[in-house]
């Protein structure tokens, strides 16, 4: 079992739908990252959070430390949101443990 598990692995939805991607981890963490990787490969850091909830535009990330679970939500999804979304658990000061990623496809 991976230390960081994401679900679903693949998600296809229609434009406008509300999207949820889940991340569960089994290790102690100091923070959790949500990353977005586009088909070209470049990675963008969306959020780093250690408690509660953060919002940026149509993206919302939440984390429940007690349950060792985080979610990434996308409201009013758009085809340009199509990408691979990766959660990464920060262990200690530096080490990131990555989930396998969720491939999101938003159809127009």
Partner 1 sequence: GAVVSQHPSWVICKSGTSVKIECRSLDFQATTMFWYRQFPKQSLMLMATSNEGSKATYEQGVEKDKFLINHASLTLSTLTVTSAHPEDSSFYICSARGTPRGTDTQYFGPGTRLTVL
User: Which residues of this protein are in contact with partner 1, per CB under 8 A?
Assistant: 33, 35, 40-45, 48, 86, 88, 90, 94-96, 98-101
Q: Whole-angstrom Cα distance, residue 56 to residue 87?
A: 16
Sign of CA dihedral 8, 18, 69, 80: positive
Whole-number minimum distance, CB 41 to partner 1, in Å? Answer: 4
Output 66 or 94, the one with its CB closest to partner 1.
94
Task: Please identify, using beta-carbon distances, which residue of 69 and 103 lies nearer to partner 1.
Answer: 103
- CB 48 → partner 1: shortest distance, Å? 5
Q: What is the DSSP string of 41-54?
A: --EEEEEEESSEEE
Compare residues 62 and 100 and give the one whose CB is closer to partner 1.
100
Q: What's the min distance (Å) between Cβ of 34 and partner 1?
A: 12
CB of 42 to partner 1, least distance (A): 4
The 10 Å Cβ neighbour count of residue 4 is 22
**Residue (of 8, 21, 4, 108) closest to 60 by Cα position:** 21
């Amino acid at each position: 079992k991976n230390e960081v598990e994401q679900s679903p692995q693949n998600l296809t939805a229609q434009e406008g739908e509300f999207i949820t991607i889940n991340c569960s981890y089994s290790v102690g963490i100091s923070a959790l990252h949500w990353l977005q990787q586009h088909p070209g490969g470049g990675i963008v850091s969306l959020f780093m959070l250690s408690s509660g909830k953060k919002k940026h535009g149509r993206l919302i990330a939440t984390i429940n430390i007690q349950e060792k679970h985080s979610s990434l939500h996308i409201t009013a999804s758009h085809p340009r949101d199509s990408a691979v979304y990766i959660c990464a658990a920060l262990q200690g000061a530096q080490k990131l443990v990555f989930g396998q990623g969720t491939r999101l496809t938003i159809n127009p």
